[in-house]
């Protein structure tokens, strides 16, 4: 006997007995003598692989039963063969249009019933195999995609950490600035000036790219990068080159890849322009206002705030309140005023991040 389960639905006991006699030697057969019982049986184990459904039944006819089966996600995929004395072309066409896979006319002939049942079960097996294969392929694609994203994230953080090892005092600077930028983006995503840019995808890319903002520091000499004191004008000019060095390195990587990568485009923006000022007084290009990419405007506040509240060999860490006051004075000068306002409005959350990821070494 096959492992397939068939559900026979007919309000006439004689018809149920006949079909059972024909099919039971080959399949597991279940029977229902009304539409309501058929619907209940269809969702009760063992679930049918195929339903043979009478059309003309009292209370609920076969068309109504089929409609209900198709409305239920648990029974939608079960193939249904109509079995009926209505053997004219119009009724057969109506049955097939209603979603039946086949149509057997009464009085039934054993050979025809067996052939139709066998064909539909084979088709169902093929569909199930294809569905299983598609599910496996979808899972495999998801797994490979997750693996690629993980490798990408590890690569980003490895590069960022490489830059930070040149400047050992910065500690958790990468993690803090990433958290600050993400928080700013979330707060501004519904602001009229930013909602067209800050969608879910952009915020995800922005957060991924943020750790590369100072990657250009790998190109700055140790005598300047690690100087235990303030830089003079000539040294500061060399230090400022890190913005362009970082952007150029990312741009080269992007060209070498031969394919677009959103996170590298945003990383290049951040690396080059996070030291620009809203009033045009920043570097390396002296951009002003809206000409500065959104990503760089957000990183500008994140980077400055973290530098203010973190200790360096040439200065002590500034208090949170003092840092807040400096950001407030920078509205419309150093910083995009709306970005600065978002920072000030949610200052406690930024202070919490600074505390949670503060350097302990």
What are the pLDDT digits (tens) for 205-228?
999 889 889 888 888 888 888 888
pLDDT exceeds cutoff 60 at 361: no
> What CATH number is attached to the domain comprising 283?
1.10.3210.10
Task: Report the C-alpha gap between 94 and 84 in whole angstroms.
Answer: 12
147 in a structural domain: no
Answer yes or no: are the C-beta atoms of 80 and 99 closer than 8 Å. yes
94 in a structural domain: yes
Are 186 and 309 contained in the same domain? yes
Closest CA to 207 of 246, 170, 262, 260: 262
**Percent of the chain whose pLDDT exceeds 70:** 88
142 in a structural domain: no
pLDDT exceeds cutoff 90 at 97: no
| pLDDT of 316 | 84
pLDDT exceeds cutoff 90 at 301: yes
| pLDDT of 118 | 93
| pLDDT of 143 | 79
Domain end residue (candidates: 93, 119, 136): 136
Closest CA to 294 of 183, 181, 127: 181
Are 195 and 272 contained in the same domain? yes
333 in a structural domain: yes
51 in a structural domain: yes
| pLDDT of 151 | 60
| pLDDT of 181 | 97
Are 132 and 173 contained in the same domain? no
Domain range for 246 is 166-356
> What CATH number is attached to the domain comprising 73?
3.40.50.2300
Are 129 and 171 contained in the same domain? no
| pLDDT of 157 | 62
Angle at 312 between CA 309 and CA 314, to 5 degrees: 120
Are 47 and 97 contained in the same domain? yes
The average confidence (pLDDT) of the chain is: 88
156 in a structural domain: no
| pLDDT of 163 | 62
Are 172 and 282 contained in the same domain? yes
pLDDT exceeds cutoff 80 at 258: no
| pLDDT of 300 | 97
Q: What is the mean pLDDT of residues 331-339?
A: 97
The burial class, CB within 10 Å (0-12 / 13-18 / 19+), for 151 is exposed
Are 210 and 336 contained in the same domain? yes
Confidence of residue 236 (pLDDT cuts 50, 70, 90): very high
Are 202 and 329 contained in the same domain? yes
Closest CA to 28 of 8, 43, 53, 9: 8
158 in a structural domain: no
Which of 83-87, 230-234, 280-284, 341-345 bottoms out in mean pLDDT, i.e. has the lowest? 83-87
Task: Please give the DSSP secondary-structure letter assigned to residue 28.
Answer: E
161 in a structural domain: no
Which of 10-24, 45-59, 266-280, 312-326 bottoms out in mean pLDDT, i.e. has the lowest? 312-326
Confidence of residue 106 (pLDDT cuts 50, 70, 90): confident
Q: What total of structural domains would you count in the chain?
A: 2
Are 195 and 343 contained in the same domain? yes
Closest CA to 299 of 261, 249, 247: 247
Q: What is the mean pLDDT of residues 328-350?
A: 97
Are 212 and 120 contained in the same domain? no
What are the pLDDT digits (tens) for 241-255?
999 999 998 888 778
Q: How far is CA 153 from CA 174, 178, 189, 221, 254, in A?
A: 13, 13, 24, 27, 16
pLDDT exceeds cutoff 90 at 137: no
| pLDDT of 152 | 63
Are 87 and 191 contained in the same domain? no
Q: What is the mean pLDDT of residues 315-340?
A: 95
Confidence of residue 230 (pLDDT cuts 50, 70, 90): confident
Are 42 and 131 contained in the same domain? yes
Q: What is the mean pLDDT of residues 331-355?
A: 96
Domain end residue (candidates: 92, 117, 136): 136
| pLDDT of 4 | 92
Q: Which residue has the higher pLDDT, 106 or 322?
A: 322
Confidence of residue 27 (pLDDT cuts 50, 70, 90): very high
pLDDT exceeds cutoff 70 at 131: yes
pLDDT exceeds cutoff 70 at 166: no
pLDDT exceeds cutoff 90 at 312: no
| pLDDT of 16 | 93
């Amino acid at each position: 006997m096959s492992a397939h389960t068939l559900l026979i639905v007919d309000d006439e006991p004689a018809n149920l007995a006949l079909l059972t006699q024909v099919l039971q030697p080959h399949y597991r057969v279940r029977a229902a003598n009304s539409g309501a019982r058929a619907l209940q049986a269809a969702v009760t184990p063992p679930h049918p692989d195929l339903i043979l459904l009478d059309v003309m039944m009292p209370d609920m006819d076969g068309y109504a039963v089929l409609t209900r089966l198709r409305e239920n996600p648990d029974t939608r995929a079960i193939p249904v063969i109509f079995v009926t004395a209505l053997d004219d072309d119009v009724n057969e066409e109506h049955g097939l249009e209603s979603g039946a896979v086949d149509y057997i006319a009464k009085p039934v002939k054993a050979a025809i019933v067996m052939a139709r049942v066998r064909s539909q079960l084979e088709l169902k097996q093929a569909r199930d195999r294809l569905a299983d294969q598609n599910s496996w392929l979808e899972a495999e694609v998801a797994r490979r995609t997750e693996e690629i994203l993980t490798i990408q994230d590890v690569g980003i953080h490895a590069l960022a950490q490489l830059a930070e090892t040149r400047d050992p005092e910065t500690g958790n600077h990468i993690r803090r600035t990433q958290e600050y930028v993400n928080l700013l983006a979330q707060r501004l995503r519904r602001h009229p000036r930013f909602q067209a840019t800050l969608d879910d995808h952009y915020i995800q890319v922005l957060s991924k790219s943020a750790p590369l903002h100072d990657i250009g520091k790998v190109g700055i000499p140790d005598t300047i990068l690690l100087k235990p004191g303030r830089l003079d004008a000539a040294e500061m000019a060399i230090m400022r080159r890190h913005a362009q060095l970082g952007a150029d390195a990312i741009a080269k990587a992007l060209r070498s890849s031969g394919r677009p990568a959103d996170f590298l485009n945003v990383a290049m923006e951040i690396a080059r322009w996070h030291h620009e000022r809203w009033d045009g007084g920043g570097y390396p290009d002296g951009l002003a206002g809206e000409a500065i990419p959104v990503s760089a405007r957000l990183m500008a506040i994140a980077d400055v705030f973290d530098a203010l509240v973190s200790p360096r060999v040439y200065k002590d860490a500034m208090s949170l309140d003092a840092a807040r006051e400096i950001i407030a004075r920078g509205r419309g000068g150093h910083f995009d005023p709306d970005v600065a306002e978002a920072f000030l409005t949610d200052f406690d959350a930024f202070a919490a991040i600074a505390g949670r990821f503060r350097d302990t070494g």
